[in-house]
Amino acid sequence: MNYSQTDSAKNYRVFFLGNILISIGILIVTTGGSWDISNHLLNRPETFFAPPHAVLYSGVMVALFGAALVMLKMSVKEIKSENRFSIKLILVGIVLLLGAGPFDFLWHSSFGLDGLLSPPHLALICGMVFSSIGSFISIAKNSAVFVSRSYVSKNILTVLSIIPVWLSVTGLFFSFSLPFSQTDYFDFNPDPVFGAIFATIAFPFLISLMLHMAYLVNDRKFGFISTTGATLVVINMMTSIIPNPWLHPTVPFYLFTIIPIVLCDLVLMMTKNKMRTYLAAGVFGMLGYFVYYPLITHVYNKIDTNQIVSASMTSKIYFDMVLSVYPLIAVPCIVMGLVGALVCHRMINSIRRQEISSPLS
Amino acid sequence: MKIALILTLAGLASYFGIVLFVVPQEYSDVPTLEPQPSFDAKISSNHIRLGDSFDIVVYSGNSNDASDIQIVSIAFPNMTKIGSNVEIVSYDFTQSPRYVKTGDKIGYAYSGGTKLVLAQYPSIEAYSRPVTPGAHYSVELKVTPDTVGNFTVFVKTVAIPHTTEYSHYPHSGIKDHQNEYVESFSVMVSQ
């Protein structure tokens, strides 16, 4: 990148800002979406004008504005050549996001209320996944230029770019595991056994992948895993636990999940052998059952106790299941944690190789 | 550094020990809610002519503990489909009513949907969530029977969580196709 010319530097700044806005937008969308799921579980709102919807759609507006900035600058030769893949992802994501709105409206008009998994919702979630991954890659590639010296800014940027990916992929994974997709017209609910196996494989993989991502894109420095993990835990708490008053006593238990994340961050800082990565990856995998409380209750309840997971019964059913479910999922969770770390290392290496080859080309 | 590492690993082991063996015990001992729903139903007339209508009003309430969901079901065992024969005149439950058609899968024996059975006749389910103790909701239906004879209406209410025999009303009497107690109301329809 050559920032000697003012125009070029300005172009990069606008492009970078666009990507940050996309990430912020998707972060708002996913937070609103998670809140909306909790609202539906507690007091199924039948009006479009609900606060979670307002949050969700304001996020879409922010993401669209960010995408407009990216599109404005994507024709700049240097930007285009250096960010080809991430721009493509953003464009596909934004097209899906834009298309999902009218598609959802038509779907609602034809079939009434829909569940979590429906074709328009899948388009919306895929749009969020693609655009958040695209902006994450762009931010990771260009952040060194803009925030190279500030530890705090790097932390904020890491959270802003990784959490939207984490939350939108979580939404995608929950669509294929939660039994919330049966309506009068369609039954898109996953088979309970499939849902449980899928959750056992997918969530530990995702936790490990995301936390290692925060670690590796910041040159293996201490603090980024802790900040990213703690932010996700706090967002989940605010959107999935706080809206349900019956879950308030479990807030300390849920916040307790931050401790092993910080401890793994410390382990990675203290020792410099390969075992530390394996250990942290395994622990991250083992956190799947805890990080995804309380929604994970609905997944495992279907194959364990099969009770009605109503608002006041959620925590009781969750804790009643721990000792019957956890021994069965612990080993697969550890394995998927390790796979997540491995995939993350390969992805980062691939991005780094592209960074090296790009200026050469 | 080695001591710090050992302490950190001990911290991780303690975390999993606590969340697996200590915390579940603490939270499992929390008592569950025991809502006690009830209702009072009134029919406008016990004898009508074919083609005429009667009104049924159901006032539901809840006492003791809050319920996450309270359902009031009004069923029509003499009908095969509701069509335009039943009209909702007034409704103040917090959630939209659910129309159960003959052949739909419905909950069985107060399982709340975890055990299913096929509906043998149509019904309308009015429901609110959550329902605090002392809260009242009502629904009024205008029913136009389409056959001569004794026209029956079954009414019941069920609270979720269903934790005791008082989590439903009535507590005894006739059982319906869901193997749940109902209060039966009859209207004689003559030519």
A241-266 b/e with 16+ CB inside 10 Å = b? Answer: bebbebbeebeebbebbbbbbbbbbb
Q: Is A45 exposed, middle or buried (0-12, 13-18, 19+ CB in 10 A)?
A: middle
Residues A109 and A214 in one domain: no
Quick: pLDDT tens for B77-135: 999 999 899 999 999 999 889 999 999 989 999 987 778 899 999 999 999 989 999 99
Residues A215 and A137 in one domain: no
Residue A176 falls within a domain, yes or no? no
Q: What total number of domains does chain A contain?
A: 2
Residues A44 and A128 in one domain: yes
Last residue of a domain, one of A149, A164, A179: A149
Residue A156 falls within a domain, yes or no? no
| Interface predicted TM-score of the whole assembly (ipTM), two decimals | 0.87
Residue A342 falls within a domain, yes or no? yes
Q: What is the largest CA-CA distance in chain B?
A: 95
Contact A19, A3 (CB under 8 A): no
Q: Is the pLDDT of residue A351 over 80?
A: no
Nearest CA of chain B to the CA of A225: how many Å?
Answer: 15
Residues A219 and A71 in one domain: no
Residue A184 falls within a domain, yes or no? no
Residues A197 and A337 in one domain: yes
The per-residue pLDDT of chain A, averaged, comes to 89
Which residue range is the domain that position A290 belongs to? 191-361
Task: List residues bridging with B59 in a β-sheet.
Answer: B40, B138
**Residue A317, token pair as written in the block:** 């059913």
Q: Is the pLDDT of residue A1 over 70?
A: no
Residue A74 falls within a domain, yes or no? yes
A316 closest CB neighbour out of B11, B32, B160: B32
Residue A241 falls within a domain, yes or no? yes
3-state helix, strand, coil in chain A (%, to 5): 80, 0, 20
Look at B69 and A249 and tell me if their CB atoms are within 8 Å.
no
Secondary structure of residue B117 in the 3-state scheme: strand
Quick: pLDDT tens for A126-137: 999 999 999 999
CA A87, CA B184: separation in Å to the nearest integer? 66
- Inter-CA distances, A271 with A257, A262, B6, B95, Å: 22, 15, 11, 56
Residue A10 falls within a domain, yes or no? yes
Residue A150 sits at the chain B interface (C-beta within 8 Å): no
Contact B43, B74 (CB under 8 A): no
pLDDT of amino acid A47: 61
% pLDDT > 70, chain B:
100
Residues A144 and A293 in one domain: no
% pLDDT > 90, chain A:
60
Quick: pLDDT tens for B130-180: 999 999 999 999 999 999 999 999 999 999 999 999 999 999 999 999 999
Residues A209 and A356 in one domain: yes
Residues A125 and A58 in one domain: yes
Q: What residues have CB less than 8 Å from B120, skipping those under 6 apart?
A: B77, B102, B177
Q: Is the pLDDT of residue A342 over 90?
A: yes
Residues A335 and A199 in one domain: yes
Look at B30 and A259 and tell me if their CB atoms are within 8 Å.
no
Q: What residues have CB less than 8 Å from A22, skipping those under 6 apart?
A: A63, A66, A67, A70, A90, A131, A132, A134, A135
Residue A207 falls within a domain, yes or no? yes
Residues A123 and A255 in one domain: no
Quick: pLDDT tens for A25-38: 999 999 988 888 88
Chain B residues within 8 angstroms (CB to CB) of chain A: 1, 4-5, 8-9, 11-12, 15-16, 18-20, 23-24, 27-28, 30, 32-33, 66, 68-69, 94-96, 111-114, 129-130, 160-162
Residues A272 and A345 in one domain: yes
Residues A286 and A336 in one domain: yes
Look at A312 and B9 and tell me if their CB atoms are within 8 Å.
no
The per-residue pLDDT of chain B, averaged, comes to 93
CA A246, CA A249: separation in Å to the nearest integer? 7
Residue A290 sits at the chain B interface (C-beta within 8 Å): yes
pLDDT band with cut points at 50, 70 and 90 for residue A361: very low
Last residue of a domain, one of A125, A149, A173: A149
Look at A253 and B96 and tell me if their CB atoms are within 8 Å.
no
Q: Is the pLDDT of residue A333 over 60?
A: yes
